[in-house]
Amino acid sequence: MAVPSSVAIALTTLLYSAPETAAQEAKVKELFDEWCTTCHSGGGNPASDPSEVDLDVPLGSLVGVPSAANGKPLVVPGDPEASYLFIKMKGGDGMEGELMPLGDDPFTADQLKVVSEWIESLPPAEEGGGGASVDGEITTDGDDGPPAKKGRKPFNGTSQVALPTTTTLGKRTLQYRIDHRFGRIGTERGAFGMDAGVSMAMGLSYGIVDGLDVQLRRANSNKTWELGMKYIPLRQEDGKALSLGGYASISLLRGFDVANPVVGDFQGLVSRLWFDRWSTMLSLGYHLNTNHSARVVVDFDDGNGEVLVRDKRDTLTMGLASTVWVDKKKKWGIDMEYILPIPDGSTPNVFYYRGGDADPTGSRAGSWSLGGSLRTAKHFFQVFFTNNREISTNLYASGGQSGNPFSTPGVDSRNPFHKFNFFLGFNLGRQFGIKAGKKKNDK
């Protein structure tokens, strides 16, 4: 018996409702995050370059977009076999170039089924457009048009080199991060610092909601545990003129002879992304009971020689960070950072930039870093040179461990690199999306 057209339309609307489409899209997003967005993210125009298909967007925005490879639409609602995105994953007639994911094992039948079921769940364009976002909001064109897409975050990483940035992870996102500094490059036979000891930290950060992250990390320098929270209520990627917020942390230092084992840090952060190519940030920090040296000794000229003292003075810092993006997709950046400790003006003692009263000749150059970074949807990699090996907030606040220009007293070598007095380092980060648990009333 023939089904009346009005009944067919009603059934289609019921079966392909937005909540079901949203649930299907969430599964596809999880699959793409694991296998695809490492390469396919960060914007681009798939109609002009097949490699610029951005899969780190609401997937409904791919409906009807033609591929530059052959003009076929990436996603045809209700028809996986006509969707070029699915063809590139499955293979077969009509496919141009290599099967995706490139350089990896082909997708399994179960993985292909996830994508196929999502495309099948999309309502036909004439019945209301494409799919829905993971949160259930319609993301393709309709009566109200497509929703506004969020702008780019101001910095590649949640930290520049040492300073926290105004970039946050986003809701229900977990990040595992490694910060690593090799030894001083000026060390003889130190293999550019790689054989001269290591300072490193490992940590986890979690985005509770957009703009609010918590962090726990462990550094080997002074056996430091740091628990921190970053809150950026004003974010430029949400259409604001700039990003504004702060970072606060408390740290426990368990190293031997540490004068102040419990310390705290507060930093205000303000940044702006200029011309979609250049980010700048200013930070102002106040650091309680800064450990300028693990063991501070002072000779008070009272006949007792050098004695151990407890330097409980705080430190005020001013920091500057900047990134310039150099490629079309804005994934590669040149990163710069500078942190200046500010004297506290106490009398009769004088605050020195490094070592407290124990090191009057310590460097007053502050700490600087210069390097480059690569960002993909879920990965962050950065390599740099710096004069500050410290990673924990309260430890890097006192300034760099080497002076400028690059001179190392006592080093006599024909190798010009041995004259340098700074460090090679890198930072790595990997993000993971955390799915929300279903409510009791969810089906």
Q: Which of 12-21, 24-33, 287-296, 328-337 ranks highest by mean pLDDT?
A: 328-337
- As a whole number, mean pLDDT of residues 310-320 equals 81
Over residues 143-166, the mean pLDDT reads 76
pLDDT at residue 346, rounded to an integer = 55
Residue found by looking up tokens 């690593």 in the block:
180
CA atoms within 13 A on the CB side of 148: 6
The answer to whether the CB of 104 falls within 8 A of the CB of 116 is no
Would you say residue 356 has pLDDT above 60? no
Domain 173-433, classified CATH 2.40.160.40, yes or no: yes
377 pLDDT above the threshold of 70: no
- Are residues 391 and 223 in contact, defined by beta-carbon separation less than 8 angstroms? no
CA 248/CA 399 separation, integer angstroms: 19
Cross-strand pairs, 382: 373, 427
Domain ranges of the chain: 5-127, 173-433
Q: For residue 434, give both structure tokens.
A: 């955390």
Q: What are the pLDDT digits (tens) for 384-440?
A: 999 888 899 998 887 776 544 444 455 555 555 555 568 899 999 998 877 655 444
Gap between the Cα atoms of 382 and 163, Å rounded: 14
Query: Which of these, 398, 322, 309, lies nearest to 355 by C-alpha position?
Result: 398
| For residue 78, pLDDT beyond 60 | yes
278's tokens: 């250049």
State the angle between helix axes of 18-35 and 109-121 in degrees (0 to 180), rounded to the nearest 10.
Answer: 140
Give the CA count within 13 Å in the CB-facing half-sphere of 40: 25
pLDDT mean across residues, the chain: 76
Which ranges in 77-232 belong to alpha helices (H)? 84-90, 109-121
> What digits encode the pLDDT tens for the residues 257-300?
777 889 999 999 999 999 889 999 999 999 988 876 655 566 66
Q: Which position has the higher pLDDT, 51 or 238?
A: 238
Q: Average pLDDT in the 311-319 region?
A: 81
pLDDT > 70 fraction of the chain, expressed in percent and rounded: 68
Distance CA 292, CA 401 (A): 10
- Do residues 223 and 254 lie in contact, with contact meaning Cβ atoms separated by under 8 Å? yes
Lowest mean pLDDT among 134-138, 255-259, 341-345, 423-427: 134-138
pLDDT bin (cut points 50, 70, 90) of residue 355 is: very low
Q: In this predicted structure, what is the pLDDT of residue 5?
A: 41
pLDDT at 36: 79
89-114 mean pLDDT: 80
Tell me if 169 sits within 8 A of 177, measured CB to CB. no
Res. 308: pLDDT tops 80 = no
Helix (H) or strand (E) run with residue 34 in it? helix 18-35
Coil/strand/helix, residue 7: helix
